[in-house]
Amino acid sequence: MNYLFGPVASRRLGLSLGVDLIPPKTCPLDCIYCEVGRTTVKTLERREYIPAAAIIAELRAYFAGANPEPDYVTLAGSGEPTLHSGLGQIIAKLKELTKAPIAVLTNGVLLIDPQVRREISQADVILPSLDAVTPELFQKINRPVAGVTAETLIAGLKALRQEYLGQIWLEILLLQGLNDTPAELARLKAVLADLRPDEIHLNTAVRPVVENYAMAVSPEALATAAAFLGPNARVIASWTHPQQPHFDLSDADFLASLARRPQTAADLAAVLHLPEEEVAKRLHFLQQQGRVRATHHEKQVFYQTVSA
């Protein structure tokens, strides 16, 4: 499997089968907190970054095989999935292949494009992000490609809400000393009243970040912000594994552990004391680099180091 990862236990989506539509690290933003790393291709260009036929072939094989039925199929990527010009085609095919609901994780930047909204609207849940409303803060946190502003992002989100009948779960990632001030939270709240997301998910930089000034807010600050934003706001940050030195995502640790015996993402997460979602992502990257291979056995996915 080159483009599928998991299924893995996800905080929000239960057992989630990930579909990676975009190669690392292609995105219209270069967020200071991005857990995937620095953006190397900052673009708004939609194209078939990975052949849609290859992704569909993997999905077909997955659902034809004796594999676990996921709670959600989640379109994501090592960047922004709406950049893939085959997004609509892939969601339509997924609807034929599985009854599992389809979720799309997006930064929301391309929602200003009516064609993107048409394509993504086939999904059951859309999880966009909005970290800041103040133009300077948006620039500072999300570092967009030229032409993208907080205003265009909000306009796209507003148009989506007007047209889309499915669930919108909007994520806000709060950073200490940046968008966590009472003034910015009040501005966000005013915009959210217009955007009417079904849920508001509050997160912070609990994972490795790109810039060391992207600092997590406290659990108390998140809880206070959630209470301020209203009854549909909740904290999704996982504090089980805070941003500490033991949160070591070195490839060597993964490869050494997998060289000893094939393991599932859950096995490895337990061994390395890391969240399973993180482990699955890293395994996916190592797989893309040809350093790890995945095999299916008894409805589980096992990973093993490829010997040099």
Binding residues for ligand SF4, rule: CB under 6 A, are 27, 29-31, 34, 36, 39, 79-80, 107
Q: Which of 23, 40, 38, 9 is nearest to 284 (CA)?
A: 23
Nearer to ligand SF4, 80 or 119 (CB): 80
Nearer to ligand SF4, 106 or 263 (CB): 106
Nearer to ligand SF4, 81 or 301 (CB): 81
How far, in Å, are 136, 166, 167, 223, 245 from residue 163 at the CA level?
29, 9, 12, 31, 45
Q: Considering the complex, what minimum distance in angstroms separates the CB of residue 34 from ligand SF4?
A: 3
CB contact at 8 A, 300 and 290: no
Nearer to ligand SF4, 26 or 264 (CB): 26
Nearer to ligand SF4, 33 or 254 (CB): 33
Q: Which of 77, 88, 86 is nearest to 23 (CA)?
A: 77
Q: Considering the complex, what minimum distance in angstroms separates the CB of residue 61 from ligand SF4?
A: 27
Q: Considering the complex, what minimum distance in angstroms separates the CB of residue 24 from ligand SF4?
A: 9
How far, in Å, are 28, 128, 282 from residue 115 at the CA level?
17, 17, 32
Q: 3-class DSSP state for residue 58?
A: helix
Residue whose pair of structure tokens reads 């890293």 in the numeric block: 282
Q: Which of 65, 148, 66, 72 is nearest to 113 (CA)?
A: 148
Q: Considering the complex, what minimum distance in angstroms separates the CB of residue 302 from ligand SF4?
A: 28
